[in-house]
Amino acid sequence: MKSKTLFLLNRTPFVRDFNAKIRSLTSQRRLVLGIESSCDDTCCSVISVNSNCEPSILSDCRQCDSRKHTEFGGILPQVVSFMHSNSIESVVRNAFNVSGIDIHSIDAIGVSNRPGLLPSLRIGTEYAKRLSLKYNKPLIPVHHMEAHALTAGLNYPQLKFPFLSLLISGGHCQILLVTSVDNFLLLGEAKTKVSPGETLDKIARVLKVKNLGPPFDRVTGGRALELLAKFGNPNAYFSDFKLFNPKLPKSCNFHFSGIRTLVESKIKQLEEKSSLPVDCPIHEIADIAASVLSLFTRYIWHRIRNAIYFLESSNILKSKDRVIQSNSTFVKDYTIERQPVKLQLAISGGVACNKYITETLKELCENANFSYADTEIEVIVPEPKLCTDNAVMIAWNAYLKLLNDSNDVLVNKEQIEAVDIDPKAPFANNISDLIEKI
């Protein structure tokens, strides 16, 4: 029987609620400043939450010169460090000017201090520390990936714990079970450090997409493939590709390098048959683009299916102690007879801006046959500007920590001065190997 699936793309700029706990905790207007500089974007935002727990984005300012990165052939740490140094003060000042709020009215300062590029993180973190100490404001260090995972709450007030989170970007691909503001269970991730965004960009480069001229030479490779896919047949290639080896255990981990090898081999094969000049894109470029995005989405969906199968086969959603360890006692303690799952799936990260992927995921969800007909997955996608790196999500995460009285809310001078950066900070409690035991 066809499963019940809802798909929501909520673009409202206001955040009315996140969950019942936060509604009960808030009693006055809160103003939080967020600073984000983990990679190449210098971002600052001010959000406000009134006494009815109705937050709004007062400012969302960012600065990044992508042309500089193009000139240097990519993002170089020394280049982004120079750019952050030159822009952070003006971006923060602009955020205050746009919001109409001054630093004295701010209740707390949130800053991404992990993970990311070392020089980028240091500039944003040190600037936030100086503001905190100078104006006697609480400092809240924020994990960049945790902020991404909670971003959907900004656009969708009914998002409730626990929920599934799919983070897909140029640097990451992870499936998580988010059980609270500070508890994340990792169900699967991209192995060999190959991300979906990076893979799509490299495939676009092999396809010589930029040689098509405007608008394809003015956007990222992944975005160019999305534009081309509108004119292509998603079933032209790779439709018979096996998404998994039936002899291997179920898994939620990703291996994008194999997909890239498959696609590049097909492109080379088509180029050899073509009589076009070496710098000219092949005639089948639109079909390849559509087929690649279709393959990508089906591959991601297969891993989501495995995650749902895992949740149907365990009582982890009902367990009060979800901070479990990866060990052999899991099957005895958590496995029960299969049961329906009603859960929300929040998709965020830069690749979530790709409408082809999110719309195809919607279609796959709607037509899926889960183990139980009553299993219901509600898909949520934040507005595009909140999917990419931004300071709004940092301020939002800091706000949640503030209301939940987190240990990350620092008020003592010694604590604030001791805050450091962690470019390779771990994320979530990894229980991915437990899925293979179900």
Each residue's pLDDT, cut to its tens digit, for the chain (438 residues) gives 444 433 333 333 333 344 444 444 445 789 999 999 988 889 999 999 776 666 799 999 998 755 554 444 455 566 677 777 889 999 999 999 999 999 999 999 999 999 988 889 999 999 999 999 999 999 999 999 999 999 998 888 888 899 999 999 988 899 999 999 989 999 999 987 788 999 999 999 999 999 999 999 888 899 999 999 999 999 999 988 777 666 667 899 998 998 999 999 999 999 999 988 989 999 999 999 999 999 999 999 999 999 998 998 887 887 655 555 444 444 445 555 667 888 999 999 999 999 999 998 988 887 888 877 788 898 999 999 999 999 999 999 999 999 888 999 999 999 999 999 999 998 899 999 888 776
Sheet holding 4-8, edge to edge: 4-8, 376-380, 342-348, 163-168, 173-180, 183-189, 429-430
SS3 state at 176:
strand
DSSP one-letter string for 41-95: -EEEEEEEE-TTS-EEEEEEEEE--HHHHHHTTS--HHHHHHHHHHHHHHHHHHH
Sheet holding 108-114, edge to edge: 55-63, 42-49, 30-36, 108-114, 139-143
Question: What does the alpha-carbon distance between residue 175 and residue 346 come to, in Å, rounded to a whole number?
Answer: 10
Residue 2 has what DSSP assignment?
Answer: P
Task: Please tell me if the domain spanning 22-156+385-425 has the same topology as the one spanning 173-178+181-380.
Answer: yes
CATH architecture entry for 22-156+385-425: 2-Layer Sandwich (3.30)
| 3-state SS track over 239-267 | CCCCCCCCCCCCCCCECHHHHHHHHHHHH
Q: What pLDDT is recorded for position 337?
A: 62
Query: CATH class for domain 173-178+181-380?
Result: alpha beta
Q: What pLDDT is recorded for position 76?
A: 54
Taking a C-beta distance cutoff of 8 angstroms, is the pair 350, 169 a contact? Answer: yes
The domain locations on the chain are: 22-156+385-425, 173-178+181-380
Query: pLDDT tens digit string along 323-335?
Result: 554 444 444 455 5
Question: What does the alpha-carbon distance between residue 247 and residue 225 come to, in Å, rounded to a whole number?
Answer: 33
Does residue 162 have a cis bond before it (omega within 30 degrees)?
A: yes
Question: What does the alpha-carbon distance between residue 181 and residue 54 come to, in Å, rounded to a whole number?
Answer: 18
Q: How many CB atoms lie within 10 A of CB 162?
A: 18
Q: What pLDDT is recorded for position 2?
A: 42
In angstroms, the Cα distances linking 409 to 108, 394, 406, 416 are 8, 13, 6, 10
